[in-house]
A and B are shown apart, each in its own frame.
Chain A
């Protein structure tokens, strides 16, 4: 929205808007995928399933792995959104910049939520690379928000 409003004054506005549309489409797919993955993981956690115990454990592990992978991708996307919004906050049309900064902050919040959910729901340990990835996304998003706030001052 900010980029579209800035076409007259910002030469990268069209390219930023195109990236935002692509991210929006990607996010919609990931949200559906996330819901499916969680549903399958919960079902596997609660059910007796088929096959022997080893097979069931293997299936459960696989489903939990997928249930973690999708939110991590959402976290990565959140960091991307924060970066893009920070750029719009810096170069977008004056009256719309505050919206871009707000969008960056919301995206950073989403990445924080992802890190928290991955940590709590999947019981990952401190050294787990998935947790490191979630925190990396969170850190990148926070840095982007800081830049956006700085440029707005």
Chain B
């Protein structure tokens, strides 16, 4: 299900869709709080709750359903900055993103893009990419566990990366966020 379809189902009041929306974006929101802004557990939990409360109450203000992630990202960043500015971590009131935070947030966005793109690849591709890039398995291990000739693993991974790249390039940049 695409992000846009998910948003439409949420608007229609489907409780399963809301659960899916939270599930889909919870790791991202939490990662932005903890890795991007280095919030402590309690502050991160507060921001997390507030983000999804606002998503729930303001979903109708989202103009482009496909742009739900940038919208959630914007909400999360703003709430993280508000939290920092409120002094819970003794930051100055006019908090701005540091270059390091910007970089971390960009990396998180990229990681999330890759995760989403991976999710729509065929299962054999997801499997082999996960084994090689995430679990650091050797070609020999992959070959033995998937019962594939060792000499074909590198080219299979390369083909799957090509599919992943095509998927990532095929994703259009969202043009607009909410009407807020």
Number of residue pairs across A and B with beta carbons under 8 Å? 57
Contact residues in A for B154 (Cβ distance below 8 Å): 16, 19, 83-84, 87
How far is it, in angstroms, between the C-alpha of A77 and the C-alpha of B162 when the chains are bound? 23
Question: Is B150 part of the binding interface, using a Cβ–Cβ cutoff of 8 Å?
Answer: yes
Per the CB 8 Å criterion, the residue count for chain B at the interface is 19
CA gap between A11 and B150 in the complex, in Å:
20
Does A44 make an interface contact (CB < 8 A)?
no
Say yes or no: A147 contacts B157, CB within 8 Å.
no
Distance from B165 Cβ to chain A, minimum over Cβ atoms (Å): 7
Chain B contact surface mostly = helix
- Give Cα A26 to B137, complex, Å: 11
In the complex, how many residues of chain A place their beta carbon closer than 8 angstroms to a beta carbon of chain B? Answer: 23
Distance of A88 Cα from B106 Cα, bound (Å): 32
Majority secondary structure, A binding face: helix
Q: In the complex, how many angstroms separate the beta carbon of A20 from the nearest chain B beta carbon?
A: 10
In the complex, chain B residues 127-180 whose Cβ is within 8 Å of any chain A Cβ: 132-133, 136, 138-141, 150-151, 153-155, 157-162, 165
What residues of A have a CB within 8 angstroms of the CB of B141 in the complex? Answer: 76
Within residues 78 to 128 of chain A, which ones have a CB less than 8 A from any CB in chain B? 79-80, 83-84, 86-87
Which B residues fall within an 8 A CB radius of A? 132-133, 136, 138-141, 150-151, 153-155, 157-162, 165
Contact residues of A with B, CB < 8 Å?
11-12, 14-16, 18-19, 22, 26, 76-77, 79-80, 83-84, 86-87, 136-137, 140, 143-144, 147
Instruction: Provide a sorted-by-A list of 29 A–B residue pairs whose CB atoms are within 8 angstroms.
Output: A11-B162, A12-B159, A14-B165, A15-B157, A15-B159, A15-B160, A15-B161, A16-B158, A19-B132, A19-B154, A19-B157, A19-B158, A22-B132, A26-B136, A76-B140, A79-B139, A80-B138, A83-B139, A83-B150, A83-B151, A86-B151, A87-B154, A137-B138, A137-B140, A140-B139, A140-B140, A143-B151, A144-B151, A147-B151
